[in-house]
């Protein structure tokens, strides 16, 4: 048995642009224990509800996270809509679905790039981000923002898609599908990639359940859970199956996210084919009173929104449980017994977003 | 077309003395702790413990309404990963949670203010 | 299962294709029409109601009614476009073109010309 020592990891680290700090207790090269601590970027966004009106909050909530921004806004709007009994027009629901899936695509491409960077495959990283760029371009064309769209409003969406734009979206997803098909081989079958991912950071199905994991991290461990199955927005009319892998290692998480990009492409095509005509947003009058829980599937996993309104312009409480918050205990578990060199890779495996965790 | 799983969210108001028993019932149903949150409404704390079932997509919430000085027991013995949530409500709202495993002692978010989410004049 | 040389076709294709990046300062960046760059005001139609000031999430707009001045701190603005949505006369528009960076934050003021009576 070697001598134990403690290595502080983060909040600044070359491979990890996320402000999380871990105290790693290591024995030779093996990790015995990891103690997480957060709190470097706490902004107190939740308490802003008492100072901003419930409609203004849509824009504040969107800025919780820079990557799953759209789905934060969407979940918040859905929670308020549930409180106020507002029915969003069908076209609005479909547009939300299309933009949500486009954000999932760009988020997963970003993650694949970071993963490649994490195991030292620089050119693969560039390829992923090049593809992501074309998704961002079409998002800027359709919404006006690359990452933060600001198209949500309570009662629907603010902007419509015209003929040219749906065409542009379809062209982009076709292009991404074709080029991702080539890169996919490297992620899923390459010898050097496999040797870095296979058998690293194994989390069994039981462990993942006992630690309350969510999203692709849980699906990589064999839990068939995808909040989209609840059929919110247009998902009730679209055909898809949650992507699950049984292995529970780094490779399984990579597989789940890669395949989810293809799944998103498929969902976008279905949604555009079925896109109904008509209104895309309704004006909402009156003040909310009541409470609602809403769960949506973000690229990183399940997000829980809770809204409590008291009949004034200002909400009593808004609560955001982000997927990373649920995945941190799972992360600590995977680190135990891992090699020191695999730490950045394992932290990346949950696709951490500490800024939205702390809000 | 897919099968849709969209059961109604359940909400049950309970007395804080029954908390551990009720949480144990949820654990035995093999449910996952989805979230835990506090709110400060009209001079009282409202705590919500939400549990989710991953197969039926059901979510049930336990609601506790307690006086500001009431202490509640920690559920970390039953759900070990609840410590993040409990530290959070302890730090941001000042809810007195006893016996947390991994107690960060109000240093989870590294903020100076004492229970910033509760307005001073309401206390 | 594991294969070698998976990445080679991608690399070869890359080697013989044009760069995907733009030669930026020489070649100008093109923003789509919907791009949210900055807020512009049409003072002729503005009625100085102050709704934009009250609904700005970041509090970057100031409306001074007596002096007929509309002020925006573009460094605080988060380009959400809510002011343009709520404006009753549609005098505010969100247009492409980002604010240039600067060493310190400053405000831009627009004064409505005095009306002839």
Whether C9 is in a domain gets the answer no
The rounded distance, in Å, linking the Cα atoms of A160 and A291 is 30
> What's residue C49's pLDDT?
85
- The average pLDDT across B9-34 equals 82
> Quick one: what percent of chain B has pLDDT higher than 70?
94
Who wins on pLDDT, A347 or B105? Answer: A347
The rounded distance, in Å, linking the Cα atoms of A334 and A202 is 6
C9 touches chain A (CB under 8 A): yes
> What's residue B122's pLDDT?
56
Comparing CB atoms, the residue among A224, A306, A329 nearest residue B37 is A306
> What's the token pair of residue A202?
């194994």
> Quick one: what percent of chain C has pLDDT higher than 90?
0
The superfamily CATH assigns to domain B10-113 is NADH:ubiquinone oxidoreductase Nqo5 subunit (3.30.460.80)
Name the strand (E) or helix (H) holding B44. strand B44-52
> What's residue C115's pLDDT?
61
Is residue B1 scored above 70 in pLDDT?
A: no
> Quick one: what percent of chain B has pLDDT higher than 90?
0
**Closest residue of chain A to B60, computed from CA coordinates:** A293
Number of domains in chain C: 1
What's the Cα-to-Cα distance from A255 to each of A165, A185, A216, A326, B123, rounded to whole Å? 30, 11, 10, 21, 51
Contact A211 B5 (CB under 8 A): no
* Residue A350 binned pLDDT confidence (cut-offs 50, 70, 90): confident
Q: Please report, for the domain that includes residue C87, its CATH number.
A: 3.30.70.3270
Which residue range is the domain that position C90 belongs to?
32-111
Contact A209 B5 (CB under 8 A): no
A295 touches chain B (CB under 8 A): yes
Whether C98 is in a domain gets the answer yes
How far is A190 from chain C, CA to nearest CA, in Å? 5
Whether C37 is in a domain gets the answer yes
The rounded distance, in Å, linking the Cα atoms of A312 and A301 is 32
- The average pLDDT across B43-64 equals 84
Nearest Cα residue to A272 out of A231, A226, A237, A242? A237
A146 touches chain B (CB under 8 A): no
> What's residue B119's pLDDT?
67
Question: In b/e form, how buried is each residue of B43-57, taking b as 16+ CB within 10 angstroms?
Answer: eebbbbbbbbbbeeb
Parse chain A into domains and list their residue ranges.
Answer: 1-42, 43-351
The rounded distance, in Å, linking the Cα atoms of B100 and B110 is 18
Whether C20 is in a domain gets the answer no
Give the sign of the dihedral formed by CA A126, CA A131, CA A134, CA A135: negative
**Closest residue of chain B to A219, computed from CA coordinates:** B54
Mean pLDDT, chain A, whole residue set: 85
Q: Which of A189-203, A256-270, A307-321, C60-74 has the highest mean pLDDT?
A: A256-270
**Chain C residues within 8 A of A195 when measuring between CB atoms:** 2
Is residue B67 scored above 60 in pLDDT?
A: yes
Pick the CATH number of A43-351 from 3.40.50.970, 3.50.50.60, 1.10.645.10, 3.40.630.30: 1.10.645.10
> What's residue A189's pLDDT?
83
> What's the token pair of residue A192?
């050097």
The predicted-structure confidence for A208-267, as pLDDT tens digits, reads as follows: 888 888 888 888 888 888 888 887 888 888 888 888 888 888 888 888 989 999 999 999
Contact B48 A358 (CB under 8 A): no
The rounded distance, in Å, linking the Cα atoms of A273 and C98 is 35
* Residue C117 binned pLDDT confidence (cut-offs 50, 70, 90): very low
Contact B2 A238 (CB under 8 A): yes
**Chain A residues within 8 A of B52 when measuring between CB atoms:** 295, 302
Whether C97 is in a domain gets the answer yes
């Amino acid at each position: 048995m070697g001598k134990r020592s403690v290595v502080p990891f983060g909040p600044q680290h070359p491979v990890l642009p996320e402000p999380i700090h871990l105290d790693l207790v290591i024995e030779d090269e093996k990790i015995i224990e990891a103690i997480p601590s957060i709190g470097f970027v706490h902004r107190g966004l939740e308490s802003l509800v008492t100072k901003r009106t419930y409609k203004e909050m849509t824009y504040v909530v969107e800025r919780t996270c820079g990557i799953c921004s759209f789905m934060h806004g969407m979940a918040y709007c859905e929670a308020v809509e549930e409180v106020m009994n507002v029915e969003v027009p069908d076209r609005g629901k479909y547009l939300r679905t299309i933009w949500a899936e486009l954000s999932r695509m760009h988020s997963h491409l970003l993650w694949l790039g970071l993963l490649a960077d994490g195991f030292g495959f620089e050119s693969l990283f560039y390829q992923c981000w090049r593809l992501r760029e074309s998704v961002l371009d079409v998002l800027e064309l359709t919404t006006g923002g690359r990452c933060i769209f600001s198209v949500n409003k309570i009662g629907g969406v603010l902007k419509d898609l015209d003929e040219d734009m749906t065409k542009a979206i379809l062209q982009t997803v076709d292009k991404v599908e074709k080029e991702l098909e080539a890169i996919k081989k490297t992620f899923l079958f390459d010898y050097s990639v496999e040797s870095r991912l296979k058998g690293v950071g194994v989390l069994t199905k039981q462990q993942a359940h006992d630690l309350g994991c969510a999203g692709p991290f849980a699906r990589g461990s064999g839990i068939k859970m995808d909040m989209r199955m609840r059929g919110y927005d247009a998902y009730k009319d679209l055909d898809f199956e949650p992507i699950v892998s049984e292995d529970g290692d780094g490779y399984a998480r990579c597989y789940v996210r890669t395949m989810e990009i293809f799944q998103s492409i498929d969902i976008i095509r279905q949604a555009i084919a079925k896109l109904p005509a008509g209104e895309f947003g309704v004006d909402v009058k009156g003040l909310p009173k009541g409470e609602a829980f809403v769960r949506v599937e973000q690229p990183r996993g399940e997000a829980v929104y809770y809204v409590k309104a008291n009949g004034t312009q200002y909400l009593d409480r808004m609560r955001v449980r982000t997927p990373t918050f649920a995945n941190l205990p799972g992360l600590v578990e995977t680190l135990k017994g891992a090699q020191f060199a695999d730490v950045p890779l394992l932290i990346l495996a949950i696709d951490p977003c500490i800024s939205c965790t702390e809000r | 077309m897919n099968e849709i799983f969209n059961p109604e969210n359940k909400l049950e108001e309970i007395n804080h003395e029954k908390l551990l028993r009720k949480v144990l019932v949820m654990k035995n149903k093999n449910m996952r702790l989805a979230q835990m949150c506090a709110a400060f409404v009209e001079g009282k704390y409202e705590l919500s413990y939400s549990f989710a079932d991953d197969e039926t997509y059901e979510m049930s919430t336990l609601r506790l309404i307690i006086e500001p000085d009431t202490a509640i027991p920690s559920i970390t013995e039953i759900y070990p990963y609840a410590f993040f949530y409990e530290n959070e409500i302890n730090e941001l709202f000042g809810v007195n949670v006893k016996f947390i495993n991994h107690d960060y002692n109000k240093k989870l978010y590294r903020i100076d203010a004492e229970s910033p989410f509760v307005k001073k004049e309401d206390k | 299962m594991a294969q070698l040389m998976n990445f080679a076709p991608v690399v070869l294709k890359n080697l013989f294709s044009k760069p995907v990046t733009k030669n930026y300062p020489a070649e100008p960046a093109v923003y789509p029409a919907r791009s949210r760059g900055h807020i512009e005001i049409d003072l002729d139609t503005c009625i100085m109601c102050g709704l934009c000031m009250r609904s700005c999430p970041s509090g970057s707009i100031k409306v001074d009614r007596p002096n007929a001045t509309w002020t925006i701190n573009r460094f605080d603005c988060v380009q959400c476009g809510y002011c343009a949505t709520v404006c009753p006369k549609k005098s505010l528009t969100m247009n492409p073109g980002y604010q240039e960076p600067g060493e310190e934050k400053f405000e831009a003021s627009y004064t409505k010309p005095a009306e002839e009576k």
